[in-house]
Structure 1
Amino acid sequence: MRSMDQSPGSPPEHTKGYRALVVDDEVPLAEVVASYLEREQFEVVVSDAGANAIAVARELDPDVVILDIGLPGMDGFEVCRQLRTFSDAYVVMLTARDTELDTVLGLTVGADDYITKPFSPRELVARIRAMLRRPRILQTASHDSGQEATPPRRFGALSIDVAARAVHIGEEPILLTRTEFDILEALSGRPGVVLSRRQLLEIVRDGPWVGNEHLVDVHIGHLRRKIGDDAARPRYIATIRGVGYRMGSGQ
């Protein structure tokens, strides 16, 4: 395992204090990824095995996990499944095959993004920065502004507390991944407005999206199952065929 190298100079504010776990049995590649993240002042730990990565994640409580699918023994899909039982870290999956099946499987077990090998470490870091930017802005707004927190957004039984990043159905808390919450926040902040898949992805990632826009459908599917919404008779999230999604009235 490897921890963050202290480097001179002022750390970038947008990544200062974040923790990253890099999981890949290709040690040279993992070290390259770690070095790029360390330049951004991430605290970085590297693991080359799935079972070890689970134990490290429990101790480290990372903000982001860069996870290779093709690990020996416990593969990346199983690692991600187990991570999701105790962590809401962003998960970026690394795959040697650019196949829709790998992508869908990764998202189904709770990954937030994927990137195909070979890849540019700079592109990977840019994606990670974009994912982390929104939660950091929300934390700053809720803790440092000195203003009273805005009331939760309510859609029938569904309550969304943006400042606390908390979702409830009635009194029952609903555990969402960070990407699932960000999509729900984007939709609930614009009730009645239809957002295309690309618009949703670009709002969530805070920048242009290059990739398969239909990845958002998998996240929407997870959201609906967790909040008890039926796509055929939606109370909360309506599908607008050929366009995208709209937050319903909740009635």
Structure 2
Amino acid sequence: MTSPTRILILEDDDGLRTSLRLVLEDEGYAVFEASDAEKALLTVEDPGVDLMLVDLMLGGMDGFSFIARARPRTEAPIVVVSARDRTEDIVAALEAGADDYVTKPFSVEEVQARLRALLRRPTIGDAETEDADDDVLTLDSRTPLLFDAGAAVLRRGEEEVHLTQTEFRLLSVLAEHAGKVLTRTALLQHVWDQDYFGDERIVDVHVRRLRKKLEVDSANPQILVTVRGLGYRLDTA
């Protein structure tokens, strides 16, 4: 028997947290609740979770700090649910390691759709990547950079470079279309979900994070380049 998907809700509004829990439990999810970040971090480690819904404005440790501390401990997708809708807040949350961002007020249906999209998304080790095409090899001025999608490994020389699930999926899609420009809309559809309706800023932030792992000088990219007015292209050797 398959174990239910485990979702952590980190939200200090008791009413909203309870409402989300009831809706998600009705869909068959196993839901863990926390109103403070320290307690939530314990849940991330034991028993572990498959996905997290995180508010940013919390008492004590805020959501940004929680995400930054949780990300090295788990690959589980993180969806921010917050009333803070300024660009700098969205970017900061994504830079900390969040995968998606939903602003309050929101419809429960929207949150459900975002969760389903993230849970449907192929991840490291899935069959889709095991049957991937040949390795994509990119050379920089110092050491070879090798992306083996089948083994889900990115290496710079002999050193393995860690990728989050979203970074892995983004690089996989770009590698599948190496040499071709992919628009932000196309990347949203391929990486996040076929019917994704989220904010294109998510793409820009994750591209920037991925560049830091691919490029010798991320300020002057040679591998993952921006095609102004169009989108992004992965240039391989």
TM-score (norm 1): 0.84
The residue correspondences of 1:215-230 to structure 2 (distance < 5 A) are: 215-230=202-217
1:6-45 per-residue CA deviation (whole Å, 9 max, x = no partner) reads xxxx98xxxx642211100112211222222223322221
CA contact 1:65–1:92 (8 Å) conserved in 2? yes
Q: Which of 57, 64, 67 is residue 54 of structure 2 equivalent to? A: 67
Percent of aligned pairs with the same amino acid: 37
1:129-160 per-residue CA deviation (whole Å, 9 max, x = no partner) reads 111212269624467xxxx7754333232333
CA contact 2:123–2:169 (8 Å) conserved in 1? no
Q: Distance in 2 between matches of 1:212 and 1:186?
A: 19
Q: Distance in 2 between matches of 1:75 and 1:88?
A: 20
CA gap of 1:191–1:149, structure 2 versus 1, over 3 A, is: closer
1:83-129 per-residue CA deviation (whole Å, 9 max, x = no partner) reads 11221111111111221121111111111111111211221111111
Shift of 1:238: 1.2
CA gap of 1:210–1:197, structure 2 versus 1, over 3 A, is: same
Counterpart in the other structure of 1:154 = 137
TM-score (norm 2): 0.88
CA contact 1:229–1:237 (8 Å) conserved in 2? no
What SS is found at the alignment partner of 2:74? coil
Q: Distance in 1 between matches of 2:92 and 2:124?
A: 30
Q: Distance in 2 between matches of 1:229 and 1:130?
A: 33
Q: Distance in 1 between matches of 2:11 and 2:59?
A: 10
Counterpart in the other structure of 2:191 = 204
* Number of residue-to-residue matches in the alignment: 233
Q: Which of 22, 36, 39 is residue 52 of structure 1 equivalent to? A: 39
Q: Which consecutive unaligned segments of at least 5 residues does structure 2 have?
A: none
CA contact 1:94–1:115 (8 Å) conserved in 2? yes
The residue correspondences of 1:238-249 to structure 2 (distance < 5 A) are: 238-249=225-236
Query: Is 1:115 aligned to residue 102 of structure 2?
Result: yes
Shift of 1:207: 2.0
Query: Is 1:128 aligned to residue 115 of structure 2?
Result: yes
Counterpart in the other structure of 2:22 = 35
1:202-249 per-residue CA deviation (whole Å, 9 max, x = no partner) reads 111222333431321111111111223434543321111111100102
The AA in structure 1 aligned to 2:87 is E
Q: Distance in 2 between matches of 1:242 and 1:21?
A: 38
CA contact 1:94–1:116 (8 Å) conserved in 2? yes
Query: Is 1:99 aligned to residue 75 of structure 2?
Result: no
Q: Distance in 2 between matches of 1:18 and 1:158?
A: 35
CA contact 1:49–1:71 (8 Å) conserved in 2? yes
Counterpart in the other structure of 1:139 = 126
Q: Distance in 1 between matches of 2:9 and 2:212?
A: 30
Q: CA RMSD in A?
A: 2.3
The AA in structure 2 aligned to 1:132 is L
Q: Distance in 2 between matches of 1:165 and 1:56?
A: 27
CA gap of 1:210–1:62, structure 2 versus 1, over 3 A, is: same
CA contact 2:43–2:49 (8 Å) conserved in 1? no
Q: Distance in 2 between matches of 1:75 and 1:232?
A: 30
What SS is found at the alignment partner of 2:52? strand
The AA in structure 2 aligned to 1:225 is K
Q: Which consecutive unaligned segments of at least 5 residues does structure 1 have?
A: 1-9
CA gap of 1:123–1:38, structure 2 versus 1, over 3 A, is: same
Q: Distance in 2 between matches of 1:97 and 1:218?
A: 17
Q: Distance in 1 between matches of 2:222 and 2:203?
A: 19
CA contact 2:124–2:152 (8 Å) conserved in 1? no
Q: Distance in 2 between matches of 1:121 and 1:163?
A: 36
What SS is found at the alignment partner of 2:160? strand
